[in-house]
């Protein structure tokens, strides 16, 4: 009965999002439970597998609390403040065991979905919540949770030489949050003085627009009428570049990113306009 109840959670979210959250948490838990050494370093990170897993467990708990309507201040949205908040949280959280952390990650993902269900029943599902990356409703917060789990799940799988859990359907479910976060994580120095209109499309999905002007970034559900540069990206590649896990130049060279338009040279510059949180 409990398993059936868990499968039914996630009402009010876009189709497939609750299942993706639950499946991703389970995939990460499986990776951790098969870990031989939790002290293994995570590539391109200062964290070990144990620390990355502890961060995920804490982050899932934070997201569940936010979905339940509890206030949880956590940095000011800048990458620097989020990194500092992560360090403070890890310093006071002692659990580093694979099995306890795996269980926490799954349980807190379930708690998040249950909180969303309660908000639907109470008629508060569309209420704006304050999150580490600004005001979001619960659907966008769920997309944020999935994005965060997939990013760190990829890191854990890579560190432990296991297959990662990122696939095109899950990337599609992350796109609403990634689009919403772009203006928030724009690098002021990178966008200063730049005027550019991009048309972006993840292969198999719809196109959207990103306009840079006057030191600000605007993301629109429809691309601009006359874009300077169009980018077509393979889904998993788009996700990894967006989260700072893949080199855009290598992706372009490998044909996983295609660019054309009046100013195609703007393509390699696009990822550098943002700082992954």
Is residue 127 within 8 A of residue 80, CB to CB? The reply is no
Residue 71 token pair:
């206030």
pLDDT digits (tens, 9 = 90+) for 131-148: 999 999 999 999 999 999
Q: Is the pLDDT of residue 31 over 50?
A: yes
Name the band, by pLDDT with cuts 50, 70 and 90, for residue 130. Answer: very high
For 191, list phi and psi in degrees, rounded to 5: -90, -10
Q: Is the pLDDT of residue 4 over 80?
A: no
Q: Give the range among 105-114, 119-128, 195-204 with minimum mean pLDDT.
A: 119-128
Is residue 173 within 8 A of residue 20, CB to CB? The reply is yes
Tell me whether strands 216-220 and 207-213 are parallel, antiparallel or unpaired.
antiparallel
What are the chain's domains? 2-181 (1.20.120.450), 188-273 (3.30.1050.10)
In the predicted model, what is the mean pLDDT of residues 187-203?
96
pTM for the model stands at 0.94
Percentage of residues in the chain having pLDDT higher than 70: 96
The dihedral sign for the CA sequence 250, 42, 35, 154: negative
pLDDT of residue 2: 41
């Amino acid at each position: 009965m409990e398993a059936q109840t868990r499968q039914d959670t996630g009402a009010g979210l876009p189709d497939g999002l609750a299942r993706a959250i639950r499946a991703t948490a389970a995939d990460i838990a499986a990776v951790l439970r098969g870990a031989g050494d939790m002290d293994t370093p995570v590539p391109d990170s200062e964290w070990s597998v144990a620390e990355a897993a502890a961060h995920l467990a804490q982050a899932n708990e934070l997201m569940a609390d936010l979905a339940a309507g509890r206030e949880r201040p956590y940095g000011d949205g800048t990458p620097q403040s989020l990194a500092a908040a992560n360090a403070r949280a890890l310093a006071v959280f002692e659990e580093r065991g694979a099995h306890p952390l795996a269980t926490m990650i799954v349980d807190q993902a379930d708690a998040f979905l249950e909180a969303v269900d309660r908000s639907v029943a109470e008629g508060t599902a569309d209420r704006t919540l304050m999150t580490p990356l600004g005001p979001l409703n619960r659907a966008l917060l769920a997309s944020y949770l999935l994005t965060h789990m997939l990013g760190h799940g990829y890191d854990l799988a890579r560190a432990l030489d296991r297959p990662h859990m990122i696939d095109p359907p899950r990337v599609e479910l992350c796109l609403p949050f990634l689009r919403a976060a772009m203006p928030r994580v724009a690098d002021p120095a990178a966008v200063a003085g730049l005027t550019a209109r991009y048309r972006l499309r993840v292969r198999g999905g719809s196109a959207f627009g990103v306009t840079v002007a006057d030191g600000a970034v605007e993301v629109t559900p429809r691309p601009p009428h006359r874009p300077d540069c169009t980018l077509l990206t393979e889904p998993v590649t788009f996700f990894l570049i967006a989260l700072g896990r893949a080199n855009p130049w290598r992706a372009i060279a490998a044909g996983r990113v295609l660019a054309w338009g009046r100013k195609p040279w703007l393509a390699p510059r696009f990822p550098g306009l943002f700082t992954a949180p």
